[in-house]
Amino acid sequence: MMEKIGVCDWGIGGIGMLQHLKLMQNYEVVYLSDAGFMPYGKVAEKELSERWQEVKAFFKSKNINKVAIACNALSTLVELNDDFINVIESGVALVQDCGAKRIGVTGGYRTIESNSYKTPLEAAGYDVVQSVGQELSAKVEAGDLVSKETTESIREVFSPLINCDYVVLACTHYPVLSKQILSIFPQIKLLDPALKMAETISNKWKSNQNEFNIEWYTTGNTETMIHSARISFNENIINPLKVVL
C-alpha cells in the first residue's frame, strides 16, 4: 500500500493540483502551506535552499519520503529524483505537448529570474516571453480575486504576453484568476501545469488507498487559510494545524 505523500507550496496554490489528483487515485496526503514564511518568489537562493531543508525535515517527521512541490519558485532549486516531483517539469512537458512555438510564461520573481522555463524551452526551439506576476499570488492567498487592484495587476502582468500562442501560469495560484484574465484578454490561451503534475504523481506513485484523505498544516494563519481556500478553490479545509519549522 502506498505510503503517505507530502504536498508543499508557499500557500494554498497547490490545492488546485490536489483537486485534479483526487479524480485519479486515492492518497493519504499531508499538505504544508508555508505562508508564515516570506513568499518563496522573493527569497534569495541560499535562504530558500535552507528553508527547503526545513520543509523536508517536517515531512521526515511525518514519515513521508515522497513529496510533490507545487510551488514554482521552490521547484527552481529542488533536486529531481524518485522521491520529489516538481511543478516546473510538468509545466515544461505541458508546453511540449501543445504544439505552439511562441510561449509566454508568468510567475513570481524567482521563477522568472531563474529562467527555469525559458532555458529548456528555448533549447527545444520555442520563442519564450516572460512576465513577472509576483503580486498575483498574494491576491489569491488573501482571497482577493475581483478587486480593482487585482484587475489592474492582471492587466500589467499579461499585457506583455498578448502575442504569445499560449501562456504558462507558472504559479499554482494563478489558475484561480483564469476567468478574470480571459475576460480582459480573451485572445490568450492559458496553460495550467497542475493537471499535468497530478498525472505525473498518479503515474509515478501508485496507490491502493480506499479513500482520499488530507491532513492540513500551515506556518501561517489557519483562519486565513480556511477562508481563502474556500473563496479561491471552493475547498473546505478541515482542522488545519499551525506548525513552526
Place of cell 498578448: 162
pLDDT of residue 3: 78
Q: What is the pLDDT of residue 2?
A: 66
| Cβ pair 46, 77 in contact under 8 A | no
The backbone region for 138, taken as left when phi is positive above 0, alpha when psi lies in -120 to 50, beta otherwise, is alpha
Q: According to the model, what pLDDT value does residue 82 have?
A: 87
Are the beta carbons of 71 and 14 closer than 8 angstroms?
yes
Q: What pLDDT is attached to residue 212?
A: 95
**pLDDT averaged per 10 residues, the chain (length 245):** 88 97 96 97 95 97 96 91 94 91 97 97 97 96 94 98 97 97 96 96 92 97 96 95 97
3-state secondary structure the chain: CCCCEEEEECCCCCHHHHHHHCCCCCCEEEEEECCCCCCHHHCCHHHHHHHHHHHHHHHHHCCCCEEEECCHHHHCCCCCECCEEEHHHHHHHHHHHHCCCEEEEEECHHHHHHCCCHHHHHHCCCEEEEEECHHHHHHHHCCCCCCHHHHHHHHHHHHHHCCCCEEEEECCCHHHHHHHHHHHCCCCCEECHHHHHHHHHHHHCCCCCCCCEEEEEECCCHHHHHHHHHHHHCCCCCCCEECCC
In the chain, the domains with their CATH numbers are: 5-86+195-242 (3.40.50.1860), 88-193 (3.40.50.1860)
pTM: 0.95
pLDDT of residue 35: 97
